[in-house]
Structure 1
Amino acid sequence: MNEEQRFGRRVAHLLSESASRIDPATLDRLQQARRDAVRLRRRSRLDLIPHRLDWGMLTGALRPALTAMLVVAVFAAGDYFNKQHTLAQRSEVETALLADDLPIDAYLDQGFRAWLQNESRS
Structure 2
Amino acid sequence: MNTDDLNFAYRVRHALNEKLDDLPASTTDRLAAARKAAMARKKAHVPVRVTQAELAGAGTHAAGFFSSPFSWLGRMRVAVPMLILVAGMVGVYQYEEQQRIAELAELDAAVLSDELPLSAYLDHGFNAYLENREQ
Bucket of the pairwise TM-score, normalised by the shorter protein: 0.5 to 0.7
Query: Could you say which residue in structure 1 is the equivalent of 2:18?
Result: none
Distance 2:76 2:101 in 1: 37
Query: Could you say which residue in structure 1 is the equivalent of 2:83?
Result: 69
Of 105, 112, 117 in structure 2, the residue corresponding to residue 91 of structure 1 is 105
Distance 2:88 2:95 in 1: 11
Corresponding letter in the other structure for 1:116: L
Corresponding letter in the other structure for 1:77: G
Q: Which string of whole-angstrom CA distances, capped at 9 and with x for unpartnered residues, describes residues 21-74 of structure 1?
A: xxxxxxxxxxxxxxx959x6884335x568xx64xx433222222222122111
Moved over 6 A (4+): none
Q: Which has the larger radius of gyration?
A: 1
Distance 2:73 2:110 in 1: 53
1:99-110 equivalent positions in 2, closer than 5 A = 99-110=113-124
Distance 1:65 1:43 in 2: 29
1:118 aligns to 2:135 (yes or no): no
Query: Could you say which residue in structure 2 is the equivalent of 1:15?
Result: none
Higher normalized helix content (fraction of residues): 1
* Percent pairwise identity: 28
Distance 1:108 1:64 in 2: 54
Higher relative contact order (CA 8 A, sep 6+): 2
Pairwise CA RMSD of aligned residues?
Answer: 2.9
1:104 CA displacement:
1.1
Corresponding letter in the other structure for 2:80: L
- Report the TM-score, using the length of structure 1 for normalisation: 0.54
Query: Could you say which residue in structure 2 is the equivalent of 1:14?
Result: none
The 3 A distance-change label for structure 1 pair 69 and 98 is same
Of 54, 58, 61 in structure 2, the residue corresponding to residue 44 of structure 1 is 58
Distance 2:82 2:98 in 1: 24
